[in-house]
Amino acid sequence: MLGQIPPITRALLLGNGVIFVLQLLLGDIRFLDMMLWPLGEYSARVSAVSVVQVGFLPWQVLTYGFLHGGLTHLFFNMFALWMFGPALEGTWGSKRFMQYYLVCVIGAGLVQLVVATMAVNSGSPPYPTVGASGGIFGVLLAFGMLFPNHRLMLIFPPIPMRARTFVIVYGVLELVMGVTRTQSGVAHFAHLGGMAFGFLMIQYWRGRWPFRRRPRQG
Cα 100 to Cα 135: distance, rounded to the nearest angstrom:
9
212 in any annotated domain: no
Q: Residue 108's domain is classified under what CATH number?
A: 1.20.1540.10
217 in any annotated domain: no
How many domains does the chain fold into? Answer: 1
180 in any annotated domain: yes
Q: What is the mean pLDDT of residues 181-210?
A: 86
Going by C-beta distance under 8 Å and a sequence separation of 6 or more, which residues neighbour residue 83? none
56 in any annotated domain: yes
Of residues 89 and 168, which shows the higher confidence score? 89
109 in any annotated domain: yes
Confidence of residue 47 (pLDDT cuts 50, 70, 90): low
218 in any annotated domain: no
* Structural domain containing residue 16: 2-206
99 in any annotated domain: yes
214 in any annotated domain: no
Q: Identify the CA nearest to 36 among candidates 68, 12, 13.
A: 68
Confidence at residue 209, expressed as pLDDT on a 0 to 100 scale: 85
Q: pLDDT (tens digit, 9 = 90+) per residue, 88-129? A: 999 999 999 999 999 999 999 999 999 999 999 999 889 899
Cα distances (Å, whole numbers) of residue 204 to 77, 111, 212, 217: 26, 19, 8, 20
Cα 188 to Cα 139: distance, rounded to the nearest angstrom:
16
